[in-house]
Amino acid sequence: MDMALYTGLVSFVIVMSVTPGPNNLMLMSSSALFGVRATLPTWLGVNLGFNIMLVAAVFGLGTLVARFPWAITLVKFGGAVWLLWMAWLFARAGLATAGPDGKVAAPVRSRPIRSYEAALFQWVNPKALLMTLSSAGAYVALADTAPERAVLMVATFILFGAPCGLLWVFAGGALKRFMADGRSARILNLAIAGILLVTVAMIVLA
């Protein structure tokens, strides 16, 4: 195995996994609203769905996308619509009026995103699609066969990428204390809605 090439893959995985994106924003917001423990199934679903898509990319998903380029547009706008819906839920919770006790209403979404929902979201997540197609295409020389490349890449994303997502989960857990106050919860909900809207704009304009 070319160690220089593998080092490049590790760097790619860390940079792409730790920077803001739909998955990390989803994990942070879920942890801020529901806690770290309740968000761990969401984190597991993100990693499961992502690595399934990575294996698909190694075995030829990129070729399929090249043959049907409109699929990228479909994924892009599908992900944008999903994020808009999330932004609406957070904005609605943030704009909720206070009750007689001075506390705001609970967030509209009464549960964290389930594992299978997070896994399915990877297929309409533009950043995840870009990461899988880019790594599958740029690091073909890592191994002679597709199964070997798939195992090596999945192991690399699990070892170096999954912990990056956990950082966002713990960051959201720290924010949960900030949300204990009703007014602070409203501000955080509106802030998350704004971040999601910015993400949507970046996806659509990319």
What is the residue type of 22? Answer: P
SS3 58: helix
pLDDT band at 110 (very low <50, low <70, confident <90, very high): low
- Domain with 96, as residue range(s), is 3-205
Q: How many domains in the chain?
A: 1
Q: How many Å apart are CA 23 and CA 106, to the nearest integer? A: 23
Nearest to 120 by CA among 192, 53, 41: 53
Q: Using pLDDT thresholds of 50, 70 and 90, give the confidence band for residue 167.
A: very high
CA angle 173, 177, 181 (to 5 degrees): 140
Under the banding of pLDDT at 50, 70 and 90, the label for residue 80 is confident
pLDDT computed for residue 109 by the predictor? 47
